Amino acid sequence: MAVYTEVSDEELAGFIAGYGIGSLLSYKGIAEGVENTNYMVHTDQGTFILTLYERRVAHTDLPFFLGLMEHLAARGVPCPVPLRNARGEPLGVLAGRAAALVTFLEGFWIRRPNADHCARVGTALAGLHVAGADFQLERANALGPAGWASLFDRFEDRANDVANGLGDLIADELAHLERHWPQHLPTGVIHADLFPDNVFFIGAELSGLIDFYFACNDAFAYDLAICLNAWCFEPDFTFNVTKGRALIRGYERVRPLTQPERTALPVLARGAALRFLITRSYDWLNTPAGAQVKPHDPNDYVRRLRFHQAVATFSDYGVEPGA
């Protein structure tokens, strides 16, 4: 989440009047994240999150994202629910941007997750995969392998401005994954961005999943690989095997992995690390001046990628092949 577009008091008051959620009391920009403009909005009837869509979010994808949240919430997944305006529409226009209001989830995100947090995230991720099985809309993963290559083309000549040798590292890894990317794995709706700041806890309990704006149809095990990257590395970038074991076992309490998924996980984890290395490098080089957002350091994913390149089997993530 971030703030790129400023909204006036009058504009916002007029916008929320169409939703029947009371009078505007206050609002504040949310500076975390990199994709959309977000505000926390307080009215005399409650607290809500306002999102104005920009940058990489295609407006044709918005029915998928908003419909998915409605679908998952109806099946017990703790996630925001889009509000519908007086015309019954979940999407409006504010400050020249497509905009939506969603319900506010209580909780906070964990800065230093432990193994129990990882286990609960794994279970919640599998629950999301199961709950999305009968969602009727589909969206291809725009940031799958083909998307990585096309985005890299847009900054390849400046990649070494991020880190010395980064251009060659990305080019070599793209070539490797093009040859070895697994096919025919179980697929369905995935979150594709389930980082710690997109998961809320109240005490030890997981209270919500947010930010579904990268959700798409892809391999379930790829979504798990994203979480291994996001949740199981320590601040010094060493992989925590205990957290990896907890995450995978938590996932398999709801949806056991197939043997092909287990075999493919090291390659999927390399791909997940490369995906975020590429997108973070692009954002590092292209974040607009004056935006109320701090781009993530791409070098964090260089270190993760190096780890996965050395992984031999599924058991290196903490779980024995037959466990």
Q: Give per-residue pLDDT as tens, 272-306.
A: 999 999 999 998 998 766 555 667 889 999 999 99
Q: What angle do CA 200, 205, 209 make, to 5 degrees?
A: 30
Residues 150 and 291 in one domain: yes
Render pLDDT for 34-50 as a digit per residue (tens, 0 to 9): 578 899 999 999 999 99
Claim to verify: residue 169 and residue 189 sit in the same structural domain: yes
**Per-residue three-class SS string for 105-127:** CCCECCCCCCHHHHHHHHHHHHH
Residue at 191 is within a domain: yes
- Is residue 84 domain-resident? yes
Q: What is the pLDDT of residue 55?
A: 67
Same domain, 254 and 144: yes
Residues 20, 77, single domain; the answer is yes
Same domain, 50 and 153: no
Question: Which helix (H) or strand (E) element contains residue 25?
Answer: strand 24-29
Residue 48 lies in a domain: yes
Residues 83 and 144 in one domain: no
Residues 85 and 187 occupy one common structural domain:
no
Same domain, 79 and 124: no
Q: Which residues contact 253 (CB under 8 A, 6 or more apart)?
A: 122, 123, 126
- pTM confidence score: 0.93
Using 70 as the pLDDT threshold, list the residues of the chain that sit under it.
Answer: 1-2, 32-34, 55-56, 288-294, 321-323
Do 283 and 155 lie in a common domain? yes
Taking the C-alpha atoms of residue 114 and residue 264, their distance in angstroms, rounded to an integer, is 25
- Decide: residue 73, CB within 10 A, 0-12 exposed, 13-18 middle, 19+ buried: middle
Q: What is the CATH number of the domain that holds 85?
A: 3.30.200.20
Domain count for the chain, please give it.
2
- Write down the H helix ranges in 132-240: 145-153, 166-180, 220-231
Please identify, among 57, 78, 103, the residue that sits at the C-terminal boundary of a domain: 103
Domain of 42, in residue numbers: 9-103
In a domain, 24, yes or no: yes
pLDDT of residue 1: 43
Q: Within a domain: residue 311?
A: yes
Q: Are 137 and 152 in contact (CB under 8 A)?
A: no
Do 179 and 241 fall within a single domain?
yes
Structural domain includes residue 257: yes
Output the domain CATH number for residue 167: 3.90.1200.10
The Cα 135–Cα 160 span in angstroms is 42
